Amino acid sequence: MRIFLLTFFTCVLPIILSGQTTGGRTVYTFLNLPASARLTALGGRVISVADDDINLAVSNPALLNPRMHGQLGFSHSFFPGNIQHGYFAYGHHFTKLGGTFQLGVQYVDYGELAATNIFFQEEGVFEVKESALALGAAFPIDERIQIGANLKWITSTLANLQSLGIAGDLGLLYQDTARSFSFGLNVVHLGTQLTTYSGLDNLREPLPFEIQIGLSKKLRYLPFRFSAVYRNLNRWNIRYDDPNQENGTIFNGEEANTPGLFSRQLDNFFRHLLFSGELLLGARENFRLRAAYDHRLRKELSVQGFGSASGFSFGVGIKINRFRLDYGRGNIHLAGGINHLGISTNLKEFKSRQ
């Protein structure tokens, strides 16, 4: 039964699409933060791996599957500046409906910030918080293809200003289990502001809309799975050329060496790509080592003249008894990175051992 997705496509999606704009700054960018420690270790997004991890469905709703039935997950990440970010998710499979559903809550708390006047004199503090409540579902089309959708209700508070929004994700997953290969297609953050911070409808800001494709391949003779995601399929040029890193023209009139057109286009192409890998150890793959590389993050946040691990991430996951523990480290900048902790379990295991 696919009433949920049919309703989404026919009724909700036209409303969401009407609010889309291109270019400019976006709101609710916290939706792009890695929701779990595993995702942080794998570069922030994996859209073509369907196992029993309920946290992956936030990246692509089509990843929801019966193995996630009863799965309960909680993750919390620590950012520099005492910024707190977390995600809670629960999965449930309905046999009669033929689909798997999820309920997720994502939140971010930026803490207390100093309120100052034009003379930089402190006059108090204010808080900034954002959250999103997500309901998702996925249904199989045939033995290899599955489709899914997320619907999110978003709230954002910036001091005494508030905004409400609605967003949706659409996903598709193709799996060839015989070859241990899978392919994912994802359209994220289709949405609009329902109320703006200013209260004026003509000042609506766009959401971080994005189209992504990805693939995963598990090697035949090695317990290793490789994944790649191509982001921003809807936009080719995503380069940010920092003027502080451009040599410009030197004093004697000679032009400094600058990248040619081919080099710039090649660099732009790789900025779309995210590479990750996961080493699956043990008979039941209970111990996992993870790493990823984000070329765009490294190019944008590396500091010229200083070595750093910007763009690289890593992590580990281990299952102990009924619980899976995960840790992820995302290296963003010389000033700091993300430490992410996660714990998940399956409620069915507690019932079966009573």
Decide if pLDDT at 185 tops 50: yes
**How many other CB atoms are there within 10 angstroms of residue 294's CB atom?**
27
Mean pLDDT of 230-248: 77
> Mean pLDDT across the chain, nearest whole number?
87
In a domain, 227, yes or no: yes
In a domain, 247, yes or no: no
Q: Which of 11-20, 39-48, 251-260 has the lowest mean pLDDT?
A: 11-20
Per-residue pLDDT, 170 = 97
CA 187 to chain centre: 12
| DSSP structure string for 15-34 | HHHTT---SS--S-GGGGS-
| Residues 6+ positions from 242 with CB-CB distance below 8 Å | 300
In a domain, 254, yes or no: no
Per-residue pLDDT, 244 = 57
CA distances from 253 to 245, 250, 260, 334 (A): 19, 6, 19, 34
Per-residue pLDDT, 245 = 57
Report yes or no: 130 and 103 within 8 Å, Cβ to Cβ. Answer: no
Per-residue pLDDT, 349 = 81
pTM (two decimals): 0.87
| Residue 292: strand pairing partners | 276, 313
Q: Give the chain's domain count.
A: 1
Percent of the chain with pLDDT over 90: 69
Single-letter residue type at 349: E
Q: Which of 4-8, 149-153, 192-196, 239-243 has the lowest mean pLDDT?
A: 4-8
What DSSP element (H or E) covers 201?
none
CATH of residue 166's domain is 2.40.160.40
In a domain, 194, yes or no: yes
Cα-Cα-Cα-Cα torsion 202, 207, 213, 216, nearest 10 degrees, comes to: -170
Report yes or no: 204 and 163 within 8 Å, Cβ to Cβ. Answer: no
Per-residue pLDDT, 251 = 42
What domain range includes position 273?
A: 3-239+260-352
